Amino acid sequence: MWNHLPVSIGVQLVCWALGRWLAVPTRGAIWLGCFAGSAVCIMREITQREYQWIEQFGAGRRANIPGYAGLEVWDWNAHSLSETAVAIAGSVLFALVVTHYAADREN
């Protein structure tokens, strides 16, 4: 359940560092990183669901999959949903903490 969290936070930290290097304010850089880290984890789960669909219904051929199959979140298993939710929640929590401390430093 915790496997995506380091990936999400890692992407967030890289985006934060890159943003600061490009003179983006801390608040903007950390929230952009939050979006990027969350997006990486969501896209990974979409891709996994696509491969599961191909195995179950597509006769092993990628050409048989409809374009929306990975986006059917209601068909994701509990593990995929929890991994994604924990990663997003962790990134948002980290961004909120950084934003709070950045606001304190500005005042």
Count CB-CB contacts under 10 A for residue 21.
Answer: 9
What is the distance between the terminal CA atoms of the chain, rounded to a whole angstrom?
38
The identity of residue 98, as a single letter, is V
The tens digit of pLDDT for each residue in 6-48 reads: 999 999 999 999 999 999 999 999 999 999 999 999 999 999 9
Average pLDDT, integer, range 48-70: 91
Instruction: Please tell me the pTM assigned to this model.
Output: 0.88
Q: What is the DSSP string of 18-85?
A: HHHHTT--HHHHHHHHHHHHHHHHHHHHHHHHHHHHHHHHSTT-GGGS-TTGGG-GGGS-HHHHHHHH
The tens digit of pLDDT for each residue in 66-88 reads: 999 999 999 999 999 999 999 99
Residue 100 pLDDT level (bands cut at 50, 70, 90): very high
